[in-house]
């Protein structure tokens, strides 16, 4: 058994676990976080498994670029008209809890955000 077999995000990509999807294409998936820290809290993940940003190489460059370029569109569609925050937690000291690269997109009125942030 490999790490991907127990990866919650790989299971979401495979359709084995439900998610509230907001975007999907051949390379990435975006969905609502089940424990939101802000009125808008989306996760954007590559469909192919990579543990963390620290494990990325040139082969992940294109999908990382596409993920970053998709974020403003997703944030606007979710109602973030006054800005948003992006976070990638990397490794244990970086606060990473799920070891499948993921990008947090947080937005909405700051007074409504819940701490601690991811």
Instruction: List residues with catalytic annotation.
Output: 102
How remote is the C-alpha of 35 from its chain's centroid? 13
Burial of 36 (0-12, 13-18, 19+ CB in 10 A): middle
Query: What is the SS3 string spanning 49-83?
Result: CCCCHHHCCHHHHHHHHHHHHHHHHHHHHCCCCCC
Q: Do residues 38 and 104 make contact, with C-beta atoms less than 8 angstroms apart? A: no
């Amino acid at each position: 058994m490999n790490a991907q077999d127990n990866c919650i995000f790989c299971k979401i990509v495979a359709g084995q676990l439900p998610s509230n999807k907001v975007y999907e294409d051949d390379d990435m998936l975006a969905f609502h976080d089940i424990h939101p820290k802000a009125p808008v809290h989306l996760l954007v993940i590559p469909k192919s498994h990579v543990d963390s940003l620290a494990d990325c190489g040139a082969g992940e460059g294109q999908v990382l670029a596409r993920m970053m370029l998709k974020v403003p569109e997703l944030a606007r569609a979710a109602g973030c008209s006054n800005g948003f925050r992006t976070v990638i937690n990397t490794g244990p000291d970086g606060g990473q809890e799920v070891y499948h690269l993921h990008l947090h997109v947080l937005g909405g009125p700051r007074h409504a955000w819940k701490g601690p942030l991811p």
